[in-house]
Structure 1
Amino acid sequence: MERYDAGLKIIAGAQIAKERNELEYAHSQYVKGIEELIKLVQDEKDANVALLVRKHVSKFMEEAENLLNNPSEHARELRKRAAMIEGRAKDAEKGFKIGLALQYYTEAADTFTALRHESFGELKKWAGEKALAALNKAEYFQKLQKCTTKTKGNNPGKSADDANILGLPSAPGGEEEDAYSVPANMTAIDPNDEGPNPNSLTMVFARVNKAEVEKILIQGNQINGKFFERFFLTDADEKNYEGSAWKDPDGYPKLSEVQRESHARWGRPSQIFLSPYLFHSLEGRVIVQSSGYSHSFALSLSVCADWERRFGKSLISRSIYPHVRGIPVLSRSGRYVLKMLVNGAVRKVCIDEFLPVKSEGEVELMCSSSLGREEIWACLYEKAYFKLHGSYDFTGWTSCEDLHALCGWIPEEIHLHSMEGGGGGGGGGG
């Protein structure tokens, strides 16, 4: 049995390391000792000795396996704590709480790093990957927080009344903006605010059960048989709009009767225009709707565009993605996301770049567009709105509902009556 002493000595060292909680070293010594014993037992001529050694090897292999499957108590505590902090970070991210998200992701990265040092094998690899992911998130939110500080510093004395309820950003040509600023609805949140900062307006001035509200908002994702989830910070990431040509898996919105009678087809902007723009300039007076159907949405787009030009603040121009340094641009992949306020939350409507055009004769758009300009923003907004409502056959209601979906504005309604009917007027707001 003396020939096995070297291997058994290595195993004894592994067991001592295990007691000292030096688990990675203990596991490596178990493996080394087991390999030594297996190599020697293959030449063992005494069957009884060989059987005894193999039993011991089996026991040592089980002990080594347990080290992999049962991390130390400290490692288990670190893993539990890291998961808890990561959950808080994700909640802060969903709530647009930049300061809290930065704090929690930084703490999560530190905790996952500590777990990596306390573990080995697959757990060590997993903890390292989680630490790197959390660190990347922390760096992202640190950049956002710097943009927030710059934006606030460039607007001294700005009152709360200057911002609209959705926190939409200033339009190009309005207030001076930092070149690296991000949309104000991503940054106009106090990073030190630890109070409620909901995605939904239903939570603003009321004490409610957050779980119940969350359930209602999730139920509100389904509209006309399709799902429209809430818009989160991660949806603004430029990487979401990269890659090969994208086609909407939901298909095209159903065409109107007039469009079908004209045998309308779907074409990309590059097939329709020589040099397409997303925005050439934002003017309501050039927005026209295709003949054959009438609805309020084109009028609502026109109102928003003219309001932006008049007051120098954005209502809708920054609600279409992708953005580069806070400015909407054409999507290389043809994928666009538009933000609309629907069912109590700012939701994302994903569409591709295909637009309805006449199939015969001169190329002509069969949708709302900008007269005489190769810009497509009005076409995309209309397509997104009709995807939301199911079809280009949707005739709309009044501009009040359209404007509310576009920018969260609840305008006053003034009903005009004839003099014979008693005259007067009434107003309604919300």
Structure 2
Amino acid sequence: MRLLHTADWHLGRLFHNVSLLEDQRHVLEQLIEIVDREAVDAVLIAGDIFDRSVPPAAAVTLLDDVLGELCQARGLPVVIISGNHDGAERLRFGARHLRQAGLHILSDLANCFSPVTLSLGGLEVDIFGVPYADPEYVRSQFGVEVRDFDSAHRYLVERIDEQRHATRPTLLMSHCFVDGGSASDSERPLTLGGAESVAWEPMQHFTYVALGHLHGPQFRGGEHIRYSGSLLKYSFSEASQRKGVTLVDIDEAGSVQTEHIPLTPRRDVRVLEGELDALLTQGQGDPKADDYLLVRLTDRHAILDPMGKLRAVYPNVLHLEKPGMLGSQQRQQLSRERLRFDALDMFSDFFAQTSGEPMNTEQASAMSKLIGELKRDEEQGP
């Protein structure tokens, strides 16, 4: 049996106030092409289908289009669990009726101990889904004393383990933060205080564990306990990650083979660093000038409208940093002494760019006098 494991679609996401809906449609079309090319038997989506609990209408339409291609046009089973970004109740609307179409939405924690059994190619597998749930919800739902994410998740997984069929391969889907996983800036914390992680050990006996929540492809505890990662790069901290989906092959003996298949984004997410003039020259011949960019300028002098100049060649510069203005030895903390020393030089650069000519001797003398007076007033205090 061949499965496609994917997660963290975040449909409707805004990236620095730019809608990613068409970017998401672009990679989801590739996902469907992979399903066809690799003869996939079923698709597993491990949570965070939407970016927020009440998604925009266009995001709902996009999900409907993709599920129509998978379930209706191709007759493939699709198993979905809800993530911490999803509204579980809204996501499972009509779930009982949609099972007949091959769409299994597992977002009700009360039903997580009953598997979805798929029979394909002469092989039967059971799939259990643990939707995102905080410890308080698990405690109230089942009347058990769990105080953190780990104990709540452990309770659910151990009860699922008791329901496993003796001879069938058994898969687990879960939306959680496995201890030791590599996180990025775009993942919403599950809780405050750092008590959100869960142990991988209770999951190790399952044939395969399809995880969601962390956006970088990775595995924890064993190669069969795996995050597929998100469809796209949703923060600049993910710029070096290879986004894609995971192909999972399972045979009758329960052995598992996995393969990461990359997705090609409509626009990549990149970080550029250098002096403004060099970046402008580079941009004129950059074949990917439309990528989403964070630019770090290393220039150590004031620049008039750097964002406007950059966007003339890189139209999708979304964020600008100026570490060069902080000094080579103190990029993270501004030195007040350095600022005082360079104040005249910085103003001179600014004056030249705004007026088109350098300050004359009289103007430079007046500005130097003013800076000196301001410095003395600050040192003397009120």
Same fold (TM over 0.5): no
Structure having the higher strand fraction is: 2
Query: Shorter chain as normaliser: what TM range?
Result: under 0.3
TM-score for the superposition, normalised by structure 2: 0.24
- The higher radius of gyration belongs to 1
TM-score for the superposition, normalised by structure 1: 0.22
